[in-house]
Structure 1
């Protein structure tokens, strides 16, 4: 894939841009195999390739420039906006929406935030596209000052962008390098974006995490369900469950009782709505810390299967040591950082990876997802 922004040196976010895709995928496979070699993976399945472009379902864009000529993209080293509206890894739905949103910023007079002077209001635009082409649009603002104007002009935005299902204002008053604040104001009647993957529909609320690459996420969840189906566990925990992707797919694979644990209250609300819609009575979700939940369980409460899908830091020593000492017979570990996966596996020598597979969730970058099935020896 070629990118004019990368070639011009204005955006280097995709560090592998321009490298042949086959070479990218082979390099990720090689890296994963090297990191997990000490643990004797039983079977490496072929890596799952992504489309090279148009793959991101979520665009997290910094807004710069002026109210009459806003930029949607990133900031340069001096804090000036660089416009990336034609970014090739964003979905076509994103690229169609960006010019409309730029016009709306001018119409509603939402001044872009200036990092140097700490003036202005609009910090980021976060736009998510569902598999059905619907959009969730979030305006990340310094204060609630522009909200009334956004409400006033929202009908014009929805008329020009009818695929916008959910629109919200997120309030981030602090001057710090974070993407969003805690306070969310829903501006549309619809509050969730349906994300239909395989035969499961998940309802995404504004502050809920969802895998970045829809096609690869669908492949990941389908593979997890296939790996688990033959094990036929009677009970399972999905730790770091997010909006319930793994839990809901596992629940449709058999009759296991599944408990999902996630720190984000918004994600838990999303998962509960999806569970109710699917009438999956043997699935439940709770808001809480994954490690604390496991350490607080009685020995007889340990399930046959534990699914973990942690952030880049991994599950950490406490949870790894608990799993090592437990009676859990299988662990399904989906990792976005093979280095932290390797550290966690070193702390669980009784749980051997019997199969593994790389899923290229992030083409044009060095990042990837790797899923392993661990069995107790």
Structure 2
């Protein structure tokens, strides 16, 4: 895949972009197999490939330049804005909204945050597109000072961009490298973006996590649901459930499913999805996955885990190892933490595995593994 930004060394984020996609996929498959170790009894299913371009449903753009001439992209070594609006990874809908968002920054006089001087207001612009082409726009600000101007000019933006459904302001007052803060102010009547995946409506609130590659995420959920259906467990836990993707896909056949997630926003979204789908046997709770497992009076037949890159906690690994859980479906975005967790749970052996290439042009990938008690 050709990228003028990469060739000009303006952005080097896609480290593998000059490699043929087939070679990228083969190298990731080899890395995934190596992470699971010498296990001849593991059935590897052919990897799920992604489109090479226009697959990212979310853009995280650092704002630079000036209010009159803003850049949307990244910052260079001197903290100057590098505009990446033509990046080939984003969906066409996200590409189309960038000029209107930049114009809105100018009209609302949103001064980009200047890192060296620690002045200005607008730090980041976050845009998400749903499978139906609807958009969520989040403006990350240093303070509430520009909110009145944003409210004033927002109706014009909504008219110019009719697919825009949710607009919010996120407050990040500190001088820090993180993308967003804890406080969110929703400015539109609609507060959630509907993410229709495999015929299931999931709802994304401004601070909720969703996979950045919708097509590959849909394949990931289908694979997990197929494995769960084969095993036909009566009880399931979905730990680190997010907005409920795995739980909602695996909640049929009158199974009792409990999803656990630390984010109240995500849990509220998951509960809405379950109600609309008529899945009364699927429920969600806000809480820590490890604390929930250690405090439960009895274990389910099957556990789904989808932890962050650091993997499972040591306590949760020990609990799973010593529990009566018969099967675990483990979705991992980091092969190293997956290998460490498997070593800590020797009684739960991997039987099937499949690679899902969520992130073409980079070394990152997702692996779904079915573990069975031996």
Question: TM-score normalized by structure 2?
Answer: 0.99
Contact 1:40 1:352 in 2 (8 A): no
1:33-92 C-alpha deviation (Å, 9 max, x unpaired): 111124555200000000000010010110000000000000001100000000100111
Alignment partner of 1:59: what SS? strand
1:252-307 C-alpha deviation (Å, 9 max, x unpaired): 3x221000000111111111111111111001111111011101112xx2000000
**CA distance in 1 between partners of 2:323 and 2:200 (Å):** 31
Partner of 2:301: 304
Once the two structures are superposed, the pairs formed by residues 150-161 of structure 1 within 5 Å of their partners are 150-161=150-161
Q: CA RMSD in A?
A: 0.8
1:338 maps onto 2:335 in alignment: yes
Partner of 1:5: 5
Alignment partner of 2:202: what SS? strand
1:364 maps onto 2:365 in alignment: no
Contact 1:41 1:356 in 2 (8 A): no
Partner of 2:256: 257
Instruction: Report the Cα offset of residue 316 of structure 1.
Output: 2.4
1:27 maps onto 2:64 in alignment: no
Instruction: Report the Cα offset of residue 199 of structure 1.
Output: 1.8
Once the two structures are superposed, the pairs formed by residues 72-151 of structure 1 within 5 Å of their partners are 72-151=72-151
**CA distance in 2 between partners of 1:306 and 1:188 (Å):** 37
Alignment partner of 2:296: what SS? coil
User: What 5-or-longer segments of structure 1 have no aligned partner?
Assistant: none
Alignment partner of 2:231: what SS? coil
Alignment partner of 2:185: what SS? strand
Alignment partner of 1:202: what SS? strand
**CA distance in 2 between partners of 1:2 and 1:102 (Å):** 25
**CA distance in 1 between partners of 2:212 and 2:277 (Å):** 23
User: What 5-or-longer segments of structure 2 have no aligned partner?
Assistant: none
**CA distance in 1 between partners of 2:342 and 2:135 (Å):** 38
User: Structure 1 residues 71 and 78 mapped into 2: Cα distance closer, same or farther (>3 Å)?
Assistant: same
Contact 1:67 1:105 in 2 (8 A): yes
**CA distance in 2 between partners of 1:150 and 1:40 (Å):** 59
1:284 maps onto 2:283 in alignment: yes
Contact 1:330 1:351 in 2 (8 A): yes
**CA distance in 1 between partners of 2:192 and 2:58 (Å):** 15
**CA distance in 1 between partners of 2:270 and 2:227 (Å):** 22
**CA distance in 2 between partners of 1:38 and 1:153 (Å):** 60
Partner of 1:349: 346
Alignment partner of 1:220: what SS? helix
Alignment partner of 1:151: what SS? helix
User: Structure 1 residues 181 and 41 mapped into 2: Cα distance closer, same or farther (>3 Å)?
Assistant: farther
1:86-128 C-alpha deviation (Å, 9 max, x unpaired): 0100111111111110000000000000001110000000100
Alignment partner of 1:314: what SS? coil
Contact 1:334 1:370 in 2 (8 A): yes
Alignment partner of 2:46: what SS? coil
1:228-269 C-alpha deviation (Å, 9 max, x unpaired): 1011100000000000000000003x2210000001111111
Partner of 2:189: 189
Contact 1:39 1:345 in 2 (8 A): no
1:7-55 C-alpha deviation (Å, 9 max, x unpaired): 1001011111121000000000000011112455520000000000001
1:158-184 C-alpha deviation (Å, 9 max, x unpaired): 111110000000111011011111111
**CA distance in 2 between partners of 1:111 and 1:35 (Å):** 46
Partner of 2:60: 60
Contact 1:248 1:275 in 2 (8 A): yes
**CA distance in 2 between partners of 1:232 and 1:345 (Å):** 23
**CA distance in 1 between partners of 2:162 and 2:222 (Å):** 31
Q: Following superposition, which runs of at least 4 residues in structure 1 exceed 6 angstroms of deviation?
A: none
